[in-house]
Amino acid sequence: MRLLGIGCAVLSIAGASLAQDQAACDGTTYEMRMCLSKIYQKSDAELNAGYRAVLQKLGPHSDQKRHAGNLRTAERRWIAYRDAQCKAQYDLFEGGTGGPLENLGCLIEMTDLRTAELKRVYLSRH
């Protein structure tokens, strides 16, 4: 199943914790979907926390309103890109049961990458 490839990519990015989470996603397709959905919810929560941390960090040493506006624009465009990319990957399965698993794997991978990117660009500098 293609999900293993995604799992390996996510593994190298997100570390052992996510690997353990994804390794636990075994069973029927339904069980795997429910498990991956929980991992995605966790990844999304981490992204939102990172986004809020970036907005809070924009302070008196920057043009806070302009930088926050730029970040919001980038985030909206990133969400549109993520959704389009994951839909394209989902559609490769032509309605098969692997499509939802592929979509969730894509969402997890891209969300974790975006979280790391926000931290690298906005929180590790300055």
CATH 3.10.450 fits 3-123, yes or no: no
- Extract the tokens encoding 89: 């990957």
| Residue keyed to tokens 């926390």 | 49
How high is the pLDDT of residue 80?
Answer: 98
Higher pLDDT, 110 or 19: 110
> For residue 21, is pLDDT > 90?
no
Query: Could you write out the DSSP letters of every residue in 19-37?
Result: HHHHHT--SSHHHHHHHHH
Q: Where are the chain's structural domains?
A: 3-123
